[in-house]
Amino acid sequence: MSTHPVHLLVSCPDSSGLVSAMTGLLAEQRINILDLDQHTDSAENWFFARVAFDLAGSDVALPDLIKLWQPIAESRNMSWRLHDTEQRRRMAILVGQRDQCGRELLWRWEDGQLDCDIPLVISNHPDARDHVERFGVPFHVLPVSREKSAEQERDIRSLLEQHNVDLVVLARYMQILSPQFVNWLPNRIINIHHSFLPAFAGSKPYHQAFARGVKVIGATCHYVTEELDAGPIIEQAVVPVNHRDTLEDLIRKGADLERSALVTGVRLHLQNRVLVHGRRTVVFQ
């Protein structure tokens, strides 16, 4: 058997013996648990868990383990997913004119900090071409206009399907995706918004924050849903500001937060550490 980790994520109503049921099955098959984290939401009586294990010492193959697991999952009314880390995810990045967040992702990926493949970057502007192609990643320009937004979105989806993409990251892409597109990849489209959501959703959040005289600004990495800037939050970062800071200062300070929050959020997703529950998330750091 291989020695790469397998991740199991579980969400279900809380009841006694849940951990024992999970670990007992793995023990019976001589499967070594590498890491186990759990959380119970007492307000909703809901259980969450992430288990990382290794099949190296077991005679059971992953498809057979899934068959053994299914009766337990059904009896506990579990929502669950299992990811074999040998299967690298394929991540596409969508960028706009400001491509600093996209470049940060590419640099971290080139440095081996993001465990995925990046088969392409897409933009509605040509500005980022040189930066992207320095990383050896194909760059596609698909201009958008109000009259042709649906056509452009279809072209994006076609490219993503051609490249078998299973995760899309909006790195300051600044275009609103249709409900049809969002529902095509539920909880697999990640966005960075340049404010501490739910404050200052929508456009020009730094301008809104400056006008309100806030003392803290932030950036929010979240999953994309049909409701603008309201998807389940994965990661947030903040920095204090004061009356001496200009609008340009807020934008400059916020840019660092955007890159940091986005990279962390994407990494958590790639490591299967995020469980979505309604509008909220449980994130096992």
| Rg, Å, the chain Cα set | 21
| Separation between Cα atoms, residue 3 and residue 56, nearest integer Å | 5
Say which residue the tokens 């409701």 belong to: 227
Are 5-84 and 89-283 the same fold in CATH? no
Length of the chain equals 285
CB-CB contact of 250 with 277 (8 Å): no
Tell me the pLDDT tens digit for each residue of 28-55: 999 999 999 999 999 999 999 999 999 9
Report, as an integer, the average pLDDT of 244-266: 97
- The second-level CATH assignment, the architecture, of 89-283 is 3-Layer(aba) Sandwich (3.40)
Average pLDDT taken over every residue of the chain? 95
Paired sense of beta strands 46-54 and 5-13, if any: antiparallel
On the question of pLDDT at 275 being above 60, the answer is yes
Main-chain dihedrals φ then ψ at residue 237, nearest 5 degrees = -140, 145
Instruction: Give the pLDDT band of residue 214 (cuts 50, 70, 90).
Output: very high
Q: Where do the structural domains in the chain lie, given as residue ranges?
A: 5-84, 89-283
* Catalytically annotated residue among 84, 229, 245, 249: 229
| 54 has catalytic annotation | no
Tell me the pLDDT tens digit for each residue of 50-90: 999 999 888 899 999 999 999 999 999 999 999 999 999 99
Read off the amino acid at residue 264: T
The pTM of the full predicted model, rounded to 2 decimals, is 0.95
| Separation between Cα atoms, residue 70 and residue 200, nearest integer Å | 43
**pLDDT over 90 percentage in the chain:** 93
Instruction: Give the pLDDT band of residue 2 (cuts 50, 70, 90).
Output: low
Burial of 259 (0-12, 13-18, 19+ CB in 10 A): buried
Candidate CATH numbers 3.40.50.300, 3.40.50.1370, 3.30.70.260, 3.40.1580.10; the one for domain 5-84: 3.30.70.260
CB-CB contact of 85 with 115 (8 Å): yes
Q: What is the pLDDT of residue 21?
A: 93
**Among 118, 38, 114, 51, which residue's Cα sits nearest to residue 269?**
114
Instruction: Give the pLDDT band of residue 177 (cuts 50, 70, 90).
Output: very high
Instruction: Give the pLDDT band of residue 148 (cuts 50, 70, 90).
Output: confident
Tell me the pLDDT tens digit for each residue of 153-165: 999 999 999 999 9
Question: E strand or H helix at 210, and its extent?
Answer: helix 205-212
Q: What is the pLDDT of residue 145?
A: 81
**Among 177, 186, 249, 255, which residue's Cα sits nearest to residue 219?**
255
Q: What is the pLDDT of residue 147?
A: 78
Q: What is the pLDDT of residue 1?
A: 46
Long-range contacts formed by 144-153: CB under 8 A, 24+ apart? 144/175, 149/175, 150/178, 152/124, 153/177, 153/178, 153/181
Report, as an integer, the average pLDDT of 171-189: 95
CA dihedral 80, 86, 87, 88 (to 10 degrees): 110
Q: What is the pLDDT of residue 13?
A: 97
Q: Please name every residue paired with 222 in a beta bridge, in sequence order, or none if there are none.
A: 191, 233
| Separation between Cα atoms, residue 171 and residue 251, nearest integer Å | 16
On the question of pLDDT at 146 being above 90, the answer is no
